[in-house]
Amino acid sequence: MTAAAKGTAGQADLRPWLGAFLLLIALEVLLAPFASPMGIAAVLWLCTAALIVERRFGLWTLLTMLACLSLPQALAAYVTRVPFGIFVADLAVIPLLAAAVVRVLRTRVIPPYLLHFVAIVAAGVALTAYGVLGDNAFFDAVGVFRRICVYPLVFLAAVVLLQTTAPSLVTLERMVLAAAGVIGLIVAWRLVTGQGYAHEYMEGLGVPDRYLSHLESVGLIFAMILGLGHVATDRQYKGRWLVFVGLGLVCLVASNYRTVWLAFVIAATVWAWTSDQSSGRLMVIGFIALGLAIGIATLVVWQVDPTSLAVERFSVDNLRRGMNWRWGSWTRAVEVFLESPIFGTGFGYRHEFEYVTGRNFDVVHMSRGHTIHNDLLWLLVNGGVVGTGLVLTLHLRWWGRCLRALSGFNRQTPEARFISAALATHVAAIMLSMFQPFFSSPAPVVAIHLIMGIALVLAIRLERQAQRVSLPQDRVVPTTRSIAGARTA
């Protein structure tokens, strides 16, 4: 069977699985009225059992990415809390890791960055023991270990399982677009019912003016960046992709998260840089102009109706209240880190800090919990410079590998388009993690590392293509930049 025939067969096999998965999720959305955690758990278990029987773990990898991108809030819910909390996301992660281990043992192929992950896990075990010996709660320490050391292993699982199945770009893009479709359906339901996302998960804490959570926004941003790539390169269907990106912008605006808006602008800028598309730069300028227009419109509405709930949260008092909370959290985290900068407190740190609030900002409250609302500080406090350095260098190595694969004439290929979108989405996730708990949440950290693994598989594919078609220097087709440079000279 030829490679083209295999790709067509793989896409044909994908359709019933993807259709059944989306149908079950749609039923959950309409009947719950939103996807209940136990309903999602049942869907994942059914798909897992069927795919284990057929040994289709490559497809299960993509379905896991779809689920984690489109339903991060539901997958972060607990299936059980006793004796150790099991998240819905764990039902997707465990089969992936088990299948990857079996594949490595059978093929004896060493995946990239394996030693780096071994170092992270070894350091995590040591930091878990250090935290427990330092009076951190055992299960809190294990929970941090799971987020920092276990969930990121899906990166290796994706590389191991997808290198042999060689997913087509059409299949990958359909998965991401399907995730965006689920998110759009959820946002539409919230807008119709007038209930914010928090109403579905935190009883009594509903925020009616936020219809998209910061966790859900990453899947939408990923799909929109892929859409921008099609707008820049696909002349035949450019109008359709523009409509798709426009609808995505409506959902992002409905989030009412300033950090989400900024994350998308930064992601679009990174995409325009990594994809080397001049039309992309113009679109980024357009998004910045759109943001300014939204800001001006908000100020106008504010002048007409200063008590409007939709704009009250953009008031100076609201901004000050939010920054007081974060400033109190961040300054306390820095103090704790400076007390033990090398190894931190060990895994399992419980965060306690004071912040000023109240109508006249004259009330001092004490906040207790695990979140710092800055995942970099969360890493530094729990793991110190050693643990944080191991994690950050992994991400930097991945960035370097992807950028090398994008060099030269490879930037215009479909693989390069996906890698550019993955890099941009990674930056958006980092931006959000500076103000929100992102990498410290189960489903988002799984989704991002799956995207990283898939992008690495495509980068390896580009490197191999470049080796096969390498030409003498005088026969390489000049790029747009080299032509421009020659004209300038």
CA 320 to chain centre: 28
Please, what is the average pLDDT of the chain? 77
Residues 6 or more apart whose CB falls under 8 angstroms from that of 244 comprise: 180, 223, 224, 227
pLDDT of residue 425: 95
Exposed, middle or buried by CB within 10 Å (0-12, 13-18, 19+), for 170?
middle
Give the pLDDT confidence score for residue 152 in this predicted structure: 94
pLDDT above 50 for 326: yes
Question: How confident is the model over 386-394, as a mean pLDDT?
Answer: 96
- Greatest mean pLDDT among 42-56, 142-156, 275-289, 365-379: 142-156
CA angle 433, 315, 332 (to 5 degrees): 40
Of 120, 65, 128, 59, the closest CA to residue 93 belongs to 65
74-98 pLDDT, tens digit each: 787 777 766 667 888 888 788 888 8
How confident is the model at residue 131, as a pLDDT? 94
> At a CB cut-off of 8 Å and minimum separation 6, what does 476 contact?
408, 409
Q: Which pLDDT band holds residue 446 (cuts at 50, 70, 90)?
A: very high
CA–CA gap between residue 456 and residue 449 (Å, rounded): 10
Report residue 245's pLDDT band, with 50, 70 and 90 as the boundaries: confident
178-210 pLDDT tens trace: 888 888 888 888 888 777 776 665 544 445 577
Count other C-beta atoms under 10 Å from residue 459's C-beta: 24
Share above pLDDT 70 across residues of the chain, in percent, rounded to a whole number: 65
- Per-residue pLDDT, averaged over 96-123, amounts to 89
- Dihedral over Cα of 110, 150, 262, 250: its sign: positive
Lowest mean pLDDT among 20-34, 52-66, 334-348: 20-34
pLDDT of residue 427: 94
Helices 214-233 and 169-193 meet at what angle, rounded to 10?
130
As to burial, measured by CB atoms within 10 angstroms (0-12 exposed, 13-18 middle, 19+ buried), residue 115 is: exposed
